[in-house]
Structure 1
Amino acid sequence: PPPLLALGPGGRSLSTRVVRGSTIAYADEFDFAGRTFLLTWDRGIVPKDKVRPYPESSFEGVILRGERRLPIALFRGKDQPKYRQTAASRFEPSGEQWTRLSWVALTGETAEEDGVTYEQTTETGIWCARKDAAIARQVERAPARIEQQDEGRRSWIDISILGGTLVAYENRTPVYATLISPGRGGLPRRGVPTLETASTPTGLFPVVGKFLTATMVSGSNSDLVHAEVHYTQNIDGPYALHGAYWHDRFGEKKSGGCVNLSPIDSRRIFAWTEPRLPTGWHGMRTGAFPIKTLVHLHR
């Protein structure tokens, strides 16, 4: 590297390698001896030909307002077929599909055929198979701690771990719905630490920390590091809601236990939750704030 580049005590003086599967963020690049090097956010140096950029995900959820209301179906995993009813009231594929990560509003009407439940959509004459979609539905009541709150917007987040959905509420009013990626292990196993199974914990948790970016270390491999993880919101011990720039398989089980959001969704939810991060701050712990958004994680 050029002689003017001095690595201070905050650099990677004790790290000699970046483990395969880790991610880095870099602030600059330079050429030396016919090769290009990246200067990482923490003043490390990495050869540019040893990394590859992640494609940017454009996925985002649905602002619920006016005619946009629950229930909605979001499509994860792969493209899914649209169905129509024949004159004999049998369901058959229409020949069209919903693309992966798209969504459609539902009417609330259902029908069953040969053990398969179909949901009527707001597209004229079109139905979707319930098994093909992650369906976000409105809850009947907010958590008791929210109902009893007499200040603020009474904000809370409802997350279905197996359903792969997130709905943000202000008291009983849903304002946003999207897909999330929970832990690879799904639900916790009785008597087994969630970190061992890469499961997402269940329960009702306040947002206890908010950071524009954070460095995260894998619970199963301490050498595996994700740098500059966007819009991190701590909820319980090592678990957080945060952006995931390294995949776009939202709605599927992908994380080590945290709740993965798309980059766009993570920014939107971060700005919406309480307390809000003061302008110019990088992050904070929320213990001194009386009002905190609650996160309900369940099956």
Structure 2
Amino acid sequence: MRRRLLVTTIWAAGGLALGCDSSKDAPKPSDLPAVPAPEIPAEPANAPQPEAKLEEPAPIEQPDDTPPPPHPGPWLWVTRVSAGIYATPKKDSAQKLGYVKRGAKIPVLAEKVEGPDCSGGWLKLPSGGFVCSMIGTMDPKHTEARFPPRQPNIEDILPYTYVRNAHHGTPLYKSIPSRSKMCTYEPYACETKKEKEEKAAAEAAKQAEAAPSADTTAPPSSESNETAEAPRENSATEQALLAAAESLGEPPEATPPPELKPWEDEERLHQVTHDKLELKGDPFVARHMLKGFYVAVDKTIRWSGRAWYKTTKGLIAPADRMWQVKGSTFHGVEIDGEEITLPVGFVYGTKKSVVTYEIDENTLRMKPKGAAKKWEPLPLTGKTLKIQGKDYYELKNGTYILGSAIRKTTPNPRPPEIGEKERWLDVDISEQMLVAFEGDTPKYATLISSGRESKIKEKDHSTPRGMWRIREKHIVSTMDGDGTAAGDLPYSIEDVPYVMYYHQSYATHAAFWHQNYGSQMSHGCINLAPLDAKWVFYFAGPELHEGYAGAWSTKDRPGSYVVVHD
């Protein structure tokens, strides 16, 4: 299923559409429209841009991790949809360090700096960089400062509450609808109990009629002495209708059934695209969703006897058509160099635990000795025994575990382009493992899910192998696209957490819609458990300062290397 994954990220002055699958088709803008409420201006249209080409800097050393002292003030509350942060007090895309979003509270210095493109003056951030003072307010009593929109919660497993749409055709309203409008767009929501029962009975009868008959008795042949059942006579009502039709000289025409929406017709469902789900020009509904779409929730509202979700995009979704998803509690392990060292492994797959064994190295006799739980980090010695063609890895406690039951670290040596104290990520596709390094010192190890591989071109989502620097990173970014292989349906995931692009449209990011870490699952990106994605996000460069929604790599602040290999 070679789907094109599009990623939308808001910029202060423009946009960028990216994704996890580098298809031959040019990507298109794909973000959901913003709510048309007066206090939330529309988001700018996003246009695809070529991958930035950075001059390769010399190997760098990592900055001191000591946190800065708390900022005493003043603060700037962002009221624009988004705004850029620049290295100098002027709008220069080549000098853009990152961006902030509406509702963010960012530390600034009190004194303003004059510069072009901002008549109100520029404000310097303690961490470096400048923002235009006109993008927000420094008044803590301002309504936007007192009641800002929900910001990503980086202290929790997931930055937002996420819900999954459970039915085809669920509308995303531009505002909470009146009951009459709700009944227009969602007639099922206004059905009486009797209507629902009749509808269910009709559906059951339809399924029973379509089911093959359980009677396997052969029908009587023409040579049989049994008499066939006589045809049923028309009822009086049917005879009256036929007589009326004959008097008109032609049979009455049947009333055509109402035209089905694309997502209501199973035969046409595979033809649905995002363009067909959008309701351009409709004053009440922005678009419809397919089953499996995800939205991020800003708040829950109760109105007209129904619960509604206001999404982080400002749209309104009926809560009874969706169900909440939880982020996995799984996370990798920090390598302290003492209790935990490389190599390290993790049990993965469908089993909750895997047996460990005592093995006599002389006779190779095996004896069960405990069990290792799924996702449990297992320090290994590096020693392997082969018994009846199967590898068994020795754990540091002296027991052995079946090699095929675990994933283990097998990172490559540090490439010469990477400095001795520089941070970088090693991604092993064959073992589905990631190891974060600082120079030659491992700092963290965990499971990943890379792109699903296939010999069929249309279904191949292989993660490219190579070595690249992280180009940009975003706390959240929306991913959606249309299916490109036969039978594929469109997909949409709002505000995917902890996204770091390193090559074209390929990125590392959190995946909360599955928990099959250690197995190929993605469209080409490197999926991580949410807690792992967050750890890696804040470990790798470019650095993301307080209040930032995203950051770009520059010559002076290059992103960390990502090395992907088999």
Letter in 1 for 2:347: F
Match of 1:166 in 2: 434
Give distance in 2, aligned partners of 1:223 and 1:92. Answer: 50
Moved more, 157-166 or 289-298: 289-298
1:30 aligns with 301
Distance 2:323 2:355 in 1: 34
2:559 counterpart residue number: 292
Within 5 A, what are the aligned runs for 1:148-297? Answer: 149=419, 153-185=421-453, 197-218=460-481, 220=483, 223-297=490-564
Residue 30 of structure 1 aligns with an amino acid whose one-letter code is I
Q: Cα offset for 1:163?
A: 1.0
What secondary structure is seen at the aligned counterpart in 2 of 1:270? helix
Offset, 1:52: 1.0
Mapped contact 1:231–1:243 kept (Cα < 8 A):
yes
Task: From 326, 342, 350, give the equivalent of 1:70.
Answer: 342
Amino acid at match of 1:287: T
TM-score (norm 1): 0.87
Residue 31 of structure 1: how far off its partner (Å): 1.5
Mapping 1:135-154, distance limit 5 Å: 135-139=408-412, 141-146=413-418, 149=419, 153-154=421-422
**Deviates most, 94-103 or 231-240:** 94-103
For residue 105 of structure 1, report the CA deviation from its aligned partner.
Answer: 0.6
The residue aligned with 2:42 is: 9
Question: Retained in 2: the 8 A contact 1:91–1:113?
Answer: no
Partner-residue secondary structure (3-state), 2:295: coil
Secondary structure, counterpart of 1:264 in structure 2: helix
Alpha-carbon distance between aligned partners in 2 of 1:245 and 1:239, rounded to the nearest angstrom: 18
Cα offset, 1:291, TM superposition: 3.0
Contact 1:72 1:137 in 2 (8 A): no
Quickly say closer, same or farther: Cα 1:222–1:296, change in 2 above 3 A: farther
**Identical columns (%):** 26
Matched, 1:51 2:322: yes
* Unaligned stretches of 5+ residues in structure 2: 1-35, 44-173, 175-277, 281-285
Give the structure 2 partner of residue 109 of structure 1. Answer: 383
How far did residue 230 of structure 1 move?
0.8
The residue identity in structure 1 corresponding to 2:335 is L
Give the strand-richer structure, 1 or 2. Answer: 1
Deviations 1:114-140 (A, max 9, x none): 11111110123x10121111011354x
CA distance in 2, matches of 1:198, 1:154: 30
**Correspondence 1:134 to 2:431:** no
Q: Supply the distance in 1 between the matched residues of 2:369 and 2:315 (Cα, whole angstroms).
A: 52
Q: Secondary structure at the match of 1:205?
A: strand
Q: Which amino acid aligns with 2:509?
A: H
> Offset at 1:200?
0.9
Letter in 1 for 2:407: A
C-alpha RMSD of matched pairs (Å): 2.5
Name whichever of 89-98 and 229-238 sits farther off. 89-98
Letter in 1 for 2:508: L
Distance 2:557 2:305 in 1: 56
Give 3-state SS (helix, strand or coil) of 2:291's partner: coil
Counterpart of 2:345, as a letter, is A
Q: Is the 8 A contact 1:275 1:289 kept in 2?
A: no
Contact 1:120–1:128 at 8 Å: present in 2 too? yes
Alignment partner, residue 100 of structure 1? 374
- Report the Cα distance in structure 2 between the residues aligned to 1:158 and 1:115, rounded to whole angstroms: 29
Q: Distance in 2 between matches of 1:271 and 1:166?
A: 15
User: What are the Cα deviations for residues 69-122 of structure 1, in whole angstroms up to 9, with x where unaligned?
Assistant: 001111110332212225973343516322221121111222111111111101
Under a length normalisation based on structure 2, what TM-score does the superposition of the two structures give?
0.47
Instruction: Kindly state the Cα deviation for residue 290 of structure 1 after the two structures are TM-superposed.
Output: 4.5
Superposed displacement of residue 288, structure 1: 3.9
**TM-aligned CA deviation for residue 9 of structure 1:** 3.3
| Structure 2 counterpart of 1:155, one-letter code | R
CA contact (8 A) 1:218 1:256 kept: no
8 Å contact 2:296–2:494 — kept in the other structure?
Answer: yes
Amino acid at match of 1:132: A
**CA offsets 1:12-46 (integer angstroms, 9 cap, x no match):** 87442122112110101111221111000101111
Partner SS for 2:532: helix
State the secondary structure of the residue aligned to 1:279: coil
Residue 145 of structure 1: SS of its match in structure 2? Answer: coil
Please report how far the alpha carbon of residue 208 of structure 1 lies from its aligned counterpart in structure 2 after TM superposition: 0.2
- Render the CA deviation track for 1:218-258: whole Å, top value 9, x for unaligned: 46368411111111000111110001122221111111110
CA distance in 2, matches of 1:277, 1:196: 36
The match for 2:113 is none
User: Distance between the aligned counterparts of 1:9 and 1:277, measured in 2?
Assistant: 26
Structure 1 residue 176, shift from structure 2 partner: 0.6
